[in-house]
Chain A
């Protein structure tokens, strides 16, 4: 076999831009005709023998992700045809390194600063005057009093399930605020709240929250720490356990608040079968249909956060809801302006003026770039 160093067939190696390091981007140009495969070889500085680093796909570009940051490499490629092969190599050493900023996500940063800024401003406003910020009341909030009251009248306990996510989930945090309100009502009415947990940290947070709620209602003695307990970290084991509690304790009111997965329908159906008032709330959009079908009241997605802000009147929550409302208004305006301009751009393009359509597409590209 004879090999050729042909003019034109070349390789360029660069540190992969906008990454966390550990990768060098290899690009080959003018791949010889009839190439069946392109082999990649790598030589680390100080070594004497090139080592195999895989194959380059037919499009001629690949990322070598088996490199070590800071180590310098030379690259060589072999384009193999049926009867010969061609070689190209880099002349200068190249090394990989992580970048501080991923420039492809500049749109994300822009929206983050914009919406984050609005939220911060509203939090400050809420701190100065919490009563000045209006949030509409949600029907499910009135239902909390009704459900706890009915449960107490029937001499049955209240069951509160905080979902299957950890304390870092926004839905779980919102559920803790709702738990506080439920806990206060339960303490005032002299009832009992059962709180099975999937996550041990959520359990400790719930214990503390209920303890505070009972104290604020003037009934610290009525709080039973053992009613807030850990069940299991297995999804359907947890579902089976909660189902058993529902059947044996027969709660009059069930609160399914937090992030749920496939067990949502199992829980809601069992709750329905024992005739309890069910108030659900989740930010898991995939599970909302089951709660809507089987529960009496449902807090849909962001309504949960609004509910927790309404209940607590906590400036940070109020400010977040108000800020996100303003962000929604901005998005609505952006969509409106975009649709009008896009329609105009298409009409202008059909009339022989493509420049507006070019601008429209560039704006869309800019927004899409946030997807990385």
Chain B
């Protein structure tokens, strides 16, 4: 019985959201507010249960070894609440923001060098005389694509003259890549739509075989 009820609720809400295709309407508005409200409440519970309770309160209460270190994030967490204090003291919350931003920037820098820059550099330094003309052409396209794209993102000179020609080739490569990514993702979205349609027609209306 509960399963049938949940299928009816899920199916009904899916149709409410789909009604957006017609335009804004009270049914969509209802589903939207329900979704936003429920998700906000869900995350509140999630953060309380899995972060504050499980990672802060429980270890301190159990006096786990090393739990004293939790005082540091707890301290910075409380500083964030200083935003509610009068303007004279609310600036203290910036300490927490600065701490978070600093750590984020440090992690991102290393991640970008290691995950993007070096692999791309390694994959672009290719010989152009491999003895196989198809490989040579392939290598040439990779080298030109990477170098001209880099030129497009060079901001220290006006986009005129030879720079402009190179960056135009670069933007062509960028658009080809974006086009391919667009097509790929549209295919994935169609598969999501199929999933929803199978749910409505299969699990709910029993017209087609459910997955």
Contacts and interface: CB of A to CB of B under 8 A. Distances in A.
Interface in A155-178: 166-170, 173
A339 B128 contact: yes
7 contacts: A111-B113, A134-B156, A168-B105, A292-B182, A328-B150, A342-B125, A367-B118
Interface stretch (B54-62, B171-179, B199-207): B171-179
Interface string B74-116: 0000001001000000000100010011011100111001110
The residue in B20, B93, B143, B155 that gathers the most chain A C-beta atoms within 10 A of its C-beta is: B155
Chain B interface residue count: which class? 35 or more
Contacts of A248: 24
Given A111-B117, A201-B100, A288-B178, A241 B24 contact: no
A338 B104 contact: no
Interface string A198-219: 0001001100000000000000
Given A136-B157, A339-B127, A237 B174 contact: no
Given A136-B155, A328-B150, A289 B127 contact: no
A335 B157 contact: no
Contacts of B124: 335, 338-339
Given A166-B104, A233-B43, A244 B154 contact: no
Contacts of A145: none
Given A335-B143, A367-B125, A370-B113, A234 B42 contact: yes
A232 interface: yes
Chain A interface residue count: which class? 35 or more
Contacts of B103: 168
Given A292-B178, A335-B121, A136 B104 contact: no
B36 A237 contact: yes
Nearest to A309: B155
Contacts of A335: 121, 124-125, 143, 146-147
B39 A201 contact: no
Given A306-B155, A367-B125, A350 B131 contact: yes
Contacts of A136: 155-159
Contacts of B179: 289
B49 interface: no
Interface stretch (A53-61, A87-95, A296-304): A296-304
B156 A135 contact: yes
Interface in A71-129: 105, 107-108, 111-112, 115-116
Interface string A221-242: 0000000001111101110110
Closest 3 CB pairs of A and B: A168-B104, A234-B39, A338-B125
B155 A241 contact: no
Given A201-B100, A300-B174, A364 B122 contact: yes
The residue in A238, A301, A328, A360 that gathers the most chain B C-beta atoms within 10 A of its C-beta is: A328
Given A168-B101, A231-B40, A288-B178, 14 more contacts: A105-B114, A168-B104, A234-B42, A236-B35, A237-B35, A237-B40, A238-B39, A240-B31, A240-B35, A289-B185, A325-B156, A350-B131, A363-B125, A364-B125
A167 B93 contact: no
B118 to A, nearest CB: 4
